[in-house]
Chains A and B, each alone.
Chain A
């Protein structure tokens, strides 16, 4: 069976077949999502296209072309047509960037950071505090804000804060790293976990003595950077209207805008990660991950290199944090829980430690699982609950099923299972990392 499939795959993986298959998935997927926007199967078909592009042999240019078609044109258009997909692809992009950052820390340098979300929080709160009215509310009690409080900064400052988020997160990473990076790997994990909680508890409680974070209620509204000028928007409205069936609203444009912004950060993240990986720094990280004693004997300064990994990983989270705050116009401490850190860890582990395509795949898969598959399952269960259906044999009426049983709320179970199963059966992930093969000229005899 296996060989039969293998042979089939081999045959399909030659000549023009791969291009044909990829295009088929792309077109069928697009068409079916277009036709039935709520169908999970349709979306899965569409989202298989990148996998086909990754695994099958075809011209690099063709791959890039089809890939760009999908993420730059098709997904946003489908997203404007059905706002739900905008949320899906935005979350995929955000988490892909976070996973890429965490992958530098865990996958490349082998440092298990369980408080990664803290850096995300640093980025998010930096724009949240300065990009909202919070600065004028420092001395007022949470919830009792005067309505006419002014915004502290012009929304255009967002662009600066995107970079500041990077810097602040990197500095936080270094400040945390300095004392703790001498620790053994498992201690490091617990300390970073603790650090993540410290940041969350600070966000929760720094509404006094001065009201910096507005406590558990979180900060809102947070400003968004202005959209491109009206003339450009009008141009896109005219183009898009026939495809999406309505005149795209500003809210939708904002979502697309943030999606593209996230894509740009991802592109930078991928570029930086691949370039670092294949350099003195990246090799030093891998060496540290493999064998600290041997690495240090080769002259690699452990603490310095680990700090670099921490800072590099943290910086992506910082940028994504600022982006997230602006997109949601709201931040609250609960966004930055331990569960989020583990969620990102799950993405990295599922995709493959140290594997850049792997962790992107992991992020997409976990987001899909979280906000689509589990949600669908929840909906299905609640439909069953409202029906008169009965499970045969044990004679259990769906009506009696507890309301507490909402699969969408069982993320921990899913993350936990993924982590355990991956560690036992496939510790290198679904798309394992590969070392770059160099062109080695055969020496002449």
Chain B
């Protein structure tokens, strides 16, 4: 009798989606509870309004924001974690691969606007095209970067490729800036306005006065990210290429002896990571509506933090880490100011991730889920 876990529909569709749902719900619930608890504790500090009431009032929106950005972080984090799993190397320039994806996506939409077809095209088609183009460009760029800047350094001491990657990160930022400046005379790119993405779906929730408002673009972001995650899961766990990737991550010399073309697999790893990064770039652009060549830096660092938080090298971990970090950040941005009576606020949002990174590395360096892919002594 064939067990249900062997059924491909279960294994590659139901199980991962279920896992994603559980992670998203679980992380949201846990953090919400902690926040409400904190609200009760801090209640007595704040006299001019009811802290608990205000906390509850904005809670649904905070959770939705957190989950949305969390999925973006998770999608970027997969690029870091895959490369780390295979090469034990922090691909520092992944944040720029991501940024390039976002900018390419916006530029495509701007092009449609320029030739005048943006208003008449199906808005979802536009987004789909932008994502596909971003995936192609970012994926290829990641492969090229690997060939030029990392491959010659394979086998060198660990810090050597890392420094090269930092250099590549800076180089890409300014090259993009140069190209944008020369072609458009401006290096900020702005998402053209089109479609109905800024509108809200209103979901009536029993027991709540106001309906839950979900911005359509948030739903798109989550939807596309889930699609990417499920697709990646299938690629890594359900195909021959995935098996080769896992083999190389586990033991490169042996994989090579088994006839696996290690260089090719490494390229594929970068390709896959870059592709995901490109898609995440467009999703991020939808939310941020404005990008510049330096926009990749912070999301990239946060995604890396997510990867470490979940357990670097572990794909499921990257997902969980991304969600947790997105939520934590959203909570910090919304509640830090309220709880401290305005002394500290959302401006500390960006360094919040670092605090988490440092804490995780000190107290649980293997991350929430531990390391499963390619852990070497």
Contact = CB atoms under 8 A, between A and B. Distances in A.
Given A205-B347, A349-B163, A420-B149, A405 B158 contact: no
Contacts of B158: 185-186
Q: Is the interface of A mostly helix, strand, loop or mixed?
A: helix
A417 interface: yes
Interface stretch (A93-101, A196-204, A246-254): A196-204
B159 to A, nearest CB: 5
Given A186-B89, A194-B357, A201-B350, A405 B343 contact: no
Interface string A188-199: 011101110110
Interface residues of B, number: 50
Contacts of A419: 163-164, 166-167, 170
A189 B178 contact: no
Which of B167, B308, B362 has the most chain A CB atoms closer than 10 A to its own CB?
B167
A180 B362 contact: yes
Interface in A397-415: 401-405, 410-413, 415
A209 B343 contact: yes
B167 A180 contact: no
Interface string B145-161: 00011001100101111
Interface stretch (B121-129, B181-189, B248-256, B262-270): B181-189
A424 interface: yes
Interface in A299-321: none
Given A195-B354, A345-B163, A405-B178, A416 B348 contact: no
B235 interface: no
Contacts of B355: 198
Interface string B166-181: 1111111111011001
A413 B173 CA distance: 8
B169 to A, nearest CB: 7
A413 B347 contact: no
Contacts of B185: 402-404
A191 B357 contact: yes
A200 to B, nearest CB: 9
Contacts of A423: 149, 153, 156, 160-161, 163-164, 167
Q: How large is the interface on A (under 10, 10 to 19, 20 to 34, 35 or more residues)?
A: 35 or more
Contacts of A191: 354, 357-358, 361
A169 interface: no
A190 B162 CA distance: 10
Contacts of A404: 177, 181-182, 185-187
B159 A110 contact: yes
A76 B132 CA distance: 59
B365 interface: yes
B304 interface: yes
Contacts of A193: 301
A338 B301 CA distance: 13
B33 interface: no
Contacts of A427: 156, 160
A338 B95 CA distance: 15
A114 interface: yes
Contact of B358 (A112, A180, A413): A180
A208 interface: yes
Contact of B351 (A198, A208, A417, A420): A198
A183 B89 CA distance: 15
B362 A420 contact: no
A236 interface: no
Interface string B202-239: 00000000000000000000000000000000000000
B358 A208 contact: no
Nearest to B304: A190
Given A197-B354, A208-B343, A405-B182, A187 B167 contact: no
A45 interface: no
Nearest to B350: A201
A407 B175 CA distance: 12
A417 B171 CA distance: 6
B133 interface: no
Contacts of B152: 424
5 contacts: A402-B182, A416-B171, A423-B163, A424-B152, A424-B153
Given A186-B158, A189-B159, A423-B149, 14 more contacts: A186-B162, A191-B354, A205-B347, A208-B342, A404-B177, A405-B182, A415-B167, A416-B168, A416-B171, A419-B163, A419-B170, A420-B171, A423-B160, A423-B161
Interface of B: 89-90, 148-149, 152-153, 156, 158-164, 166-175, 177-178, 181-182, 185-187, 297, 301, 304, 308, 342-344, 347-348, 350-351, 353-355, 357-358, 361-362, 365
A-B interface, 8 closest residue pairs, ranked by CB to CB distance from nearest: A419-B167, A416-B171, A194-B354, A416-B170, A413-B174, A404-B181, A423-B164, A420-B167
